Amino acid sequence: MPTLCKPSVNVPEYIITMEETLDFAEEAHRGKPQLPLALRLIRNTGVQKRHIVQPIEKTLRHPGLEERNRVFEAEAKKRCPAVIEEALANAGLAARDIDAIIFVSCTGFMMPSMTAWLINSMGFRTDTRQIPIAQLGCAAGGAAINRAHDFTTAYPTANVLIVSCELCSLCYQPSDDNIGSLLSDGLFGDAVAAAVVRGQGGEGIRLERNAAYLIPHTEDWISYAVRSTGFHFQLDRRVPGTMEPLAPVLTDLAADHGWDIGALDFYIIHAGGPRILADLSKYLGVDLHTFRHSTATLTEYGNIASAVVLDAARRLFDENALATGATGIVAGFGPGITAEMALGSWHTTTPTRH
């Protein structure tokens, strides 16, 4: 049965705190009527710090789309290999054992995909399948796990490498001052993450079932306006309320598998913001503490887009508190409004820590 092995995650060395974010916002947008509301929303995110790939002085300047994309490519090539090597080691595999690479990012563009560079640079086989995912935003972490599950179901001996490279700070737009943009300026952080789904063997989350759902007619609620200056993030004020219609979808998915959504042992949820987790706690009937791994990611790194579910999963592995057979769910949410969901059970030969 396909198994999601322990992810590897790395965040850049430059740090910006919530207090610094609030100071920068006040300085850049002083006197604008929407600023007080934006500052209040940023404070309510619970994000204490974020990591970014450039010093804040460079981040706040806009050198143009061409230069920003050059930085994205250079930073991706600089930061991905070490994270990938660690993920392979976590899975007990080498590059030559990988049959497909899923590369996920919504914060930069490369063609050919980063997958081609990885194959040429890191010893992957030349017949490795390439599966780039660019336009699912924060839902892409869950989607990557699900596509890896699908691939290893079709090819039971295959191994799939997932790589998420989200450099959200490179999408900062100094001139955007609507509420959604100002909130995103205080919410998103940078990270690189990787994980392997093994078709056979390995320890971790045994993937048993996956599903996707799109809330009808919400495709403009989370979006990019693509302009000469790059990607301009657009966020509808209705987005925080989307867990009410999505919670029954999660409930039905678990019920179809014979599980009770309110009685699982672990929940790896994309933490787009604290209300997402609060509403899921309410509508699923579970204690907010069950989302502690997602909350920790949000608090320490901010919203790192598709990498959130991989980092939250890493924290679950590090906690080392589950017994073999423990049940859980992984769910990512993003543009569409799209949900990508997976059910799995914990499998390990390592004794749990009590």
Measured CA to CA, the distance from residue 330 to residue 344 in angstroms comes to 8
Instruction: Please name each of the domains of the chain with its CATH number.
Output: 3-198 (3.40.47.10), 204-347 (3.40.47.10)
5 belongs to the catalytic site: no
Least confident of 15-24, 178-187, 306-315: 178-187
pLDDT band at 353, cuts 50/70/90?
low
Task: Render pLDDT for 64-100 as a digit per residue (tens, 0 to 9).
Answer: 999 999 999 999 999 999 999 999 999 999 999 999 9
Element (H, E) at 44: helix 35-44
Catalytic residue among 138, 165, 168, 171: 138
Task: Render pLDDT for 100-156 as a digit per residue (tens, 0 to 9).
Answer: 999 999 999 999 999 999 999 999 999 999 999 999 999 999 999 999 999 999 999
Note the Cα 113 to chain centre separation in Å: 19
Task: Render pLDDT for 22-58 as a digit per residue (tens, 0 to 9).
Answer: 988 888 778 888 888 888 888 888 899 999 999 999 9
Pick from 224, 16, 267: nearest CA to 106: 224
Residue 230 reports pLDDT greater than 70:
yes
Q: Give me the pLDDT at residue 351, please.
A: 62
Pick from 79, 87, 83: nearest CA to 52: 79
3-state secondary structure 151-201: HHHHCCCCEEEEEEEEEHHHHCCCCCCCHHHHHHHCCECEEEEEEEEECCC
Pick from 260, 275, 284: nearest CA to 343: 260
Prediction pTM value: 0.95
Q: Give me the pLDDT at residue 352, please.
A: 63
Which one-letter amino acid corresponds to residue 41?
A: L
Q: Give me the pLDDT at residue 26, please.
A: 83
Q: What is the mean pLDDT of the chain?
A: 93
Q: Residue 28 is encoded by which pair of tokens?
A: 């850049």
Check if the beta carbon of residue 139 is closer than 8 Å to that of residue 340: yes
Residue 349 reports pLDDT greater than 80:
no
Check if the beta carbon of residue 158 is closer than 8 Å to that of residue 100: yes
Angle at 286 between CA 283 and CA 289, to 5 degrees: 125
pLDDT band at 235, cuts 50/70/90?
confident
Pick from 117, 167, 160: nearest CA to 306: 167
